[in-house]
Chains A and B, each alone.
Chain A
Amino acid sequence: MTYKLQFGELLPYMGVLFEGLLFTVVLTLISTVAGVGLGIGGAAARTFGPPWAGRVFVIYVELIRNTPFIVQLFFIYFGLPALGLKLSESQAAFLAMTINLGAYSTEIIRAGVEAVPKGHIEAGVSLAMTKWEVFAHIILKQALQKIWPALSSQIIIVMLGSSVVSQISAEDLTYAANFVQSRNFRAFEAYFAVALAYLGLAIVMRAMLRGIGRLMFPGH
């Protein structure tokens, strides 16, 4: 049997696909900001915080990094209601993505913090700054600059991983692809087109993150 590719069959569904794309973009955007924020807090706690806070973050980071995202998502969406926390598909997707990226960025940013020369901390302290002022004004930016490429890669990995949220019926790009192929029975076309959309998104995001890096860290 020969199968003829007909990408034209996707045309009537462009609206659906675009809505899915939009959901994926917004989901990624919000959870990137929240996840990196969480990572900054985690890195600060692990390097400058009290020992108990450091330990809490070690456990959090290891638990997340050593379990699949889809299981984390199912745990949040199906498991948490048993504890009385009922979330919508979008809320669960957002929470899972944030927690996931938060763990990875804690680890990445911590590595950056530890790479900042000790002399810079001493210089800040000598200028009468508190350790949190030193962290906020001297260490954080240098650390972010050092690990920006690694953090960018991780953000893109998390964006690609977000396709899994379709499995709890959050209406993202993958969900849209599933919907389209269930209607027009053009599975290969639908998935291939959507795969390319993800690829395009990854390329655009990489360029944007590099641009943001250049804006934030000039002069080097």
Chain B
Amino acid sequence: MSDFTFWVIFSNLLLALRWTIALSLVAFVCGGAVGLLMLFARVSKIGWLEALTRGYIEFFQGTPLLMQLFLLFFGLALFGLEVSPWLAATLALTLWTSAFISEIWRGCVESISRGQWEASSSLAMTYIEQMRYVILPQALRIAVAPTVGFSVQVVKGTALASVIGFVELTKAGTMLNNATFRPFLVYSLVALMYFALCFPLSFFAKKLEGRLNAAR
């Protein structure tokens, strides 16, 4: 009986894990795309655009992700927009991810020395050309490790989608706990599955960071 329960819990959690992975991937890819736009706006040297992005980033970095989810899920519904948990979760995680990732990337861009900007502008390159051919290729190399590192935060962030009823790993855990009354077992397994997902990413990020430091 006990063995049977274990396998029911385990297999159901594994099924739900797919949704955690799917949500993470979508949020990471979309968040990265929006983040790139934010990055360009943030370093555009156009005053109002910079101020706007700064406000955007401040809001999404300075408020709880849970609050952002609630605003999108419950808040938008009041305006007549029908928002499913999946859509609200994707949207909130995308915006949240973009704010953090654009700041991480900005740090990488700004770590490229002034000399590189001066050298390329003395070669008569435009701002876009400087970015495209000189700055970004260098920044990209530095950005890989912290970006992989942040993907761990995205995976963990998807757990909050459970709160608005999206059935991913954490929500499945809550439901299975309600059905089996085995909280210790259920949440241990849930934690282990997140760990199995996140630890390789953390480890890989650390490896990359070490290699980059050694190369410099």
Q: Is A188 positioned at the interface, with any CB of B under 8 Å from its CB?
A: yes
Chain A: residues with Cβ within 8 Å of the partner, total of 42
Q: Report whether B199 and A66 are in contact in the complex, using a CB–CB cutoff of 8 Å.
A: yes
Q: Is B74 positioned at the interface, with any CB of A under 8 Å from its CB?
A: yes
Closest A residue to B71 by beta carbon equals A191
Expressed in whole angstroms, the Cα–Cα distance for A71 and B170 within the complex equals: 7
Closest A residue to B70 by beta carbon equals A191
- B-side contacts of A65, CB under 8 Å: 152, 198, 202
- A-side contacts of B174, CB under 8 Å: 74
Q: Which of A117-141 contact B (CB under 8 A)?
A: none
Expressed in whole angstroms, the Cα–Cα distance for A70 and B64 within the complex equals: 13
Q: Is A109 positioned at the interface, with any CB of B under 8 Å from its CB?
A: no
B126-169 contact mask (Cβ, 8 Å, vs A): 1 or 0: 00000000000000000000000000100011011011000000
Shortest CB distance B145–A (Å): 15
Closest A residue to B196 by beta carbon equals A66
- A-side contacts of B199, CB under 8 Å: 62, 66
Q: A67-B198, A74-B187, A78-B183 are known contacts. Are A187 and B74 too (CB-CB below 8 A)?
A: yes
Q: Which of B100-128 contact A (CB under 8 A)?
A: none
Shortest CB distance B16–A (Å): 13
Q: Report whether A66 and B152 are in contact in the complex, using a CB–CB cutoff of 8 Å.
A: yes
- A-side contacts of B162, CB under 8 Å: 70
Expressed in whole angstroms, the Cα–Cα distance for A198 and B61 within the complex equals: 10
Expressed in whole angstroms, the Cα–Cα distance for A70 and B173 within the complex equals: 12
Q: Is B210 positioned at the interface, with any CB of A under 8 Å from its CB?
A: no
Q: Report whether B67 and A62 are in contact in the complex, using a CB–CB cutoff of 8 Å.
A: no
Q: Report whether A70 and B198 are in contact in the complex, using a CB–CB cutoff of 8 Å.
A: no
Residues of A within 8 A of B (CB): 1-3, 62-63, 65-72, 74-75, 78-83, 160-164, 166-167, 174, 177, 181, 187-188, 191-192, 194-196, 198-199, 202-203
Could you show 10 A-B contacts with beta carbons less than 8 Å apart?
Answer: A1-B79, A62-B202, A69-B156, A71-B159, A74-B170, A79-B186, A82-B183, A163-B66, A166-B66, A177-B70
Extra inter-chain contacts (12) besides given A79-B184, A162-B64, A163-B66, CB under 8 Å: A62-B199, A66-B202, A67-B195, A68-B156, A68-B194, A74-B187, A74-B190, A160-B65, A174-B64, A188-B79, A195-B59, A199-B62
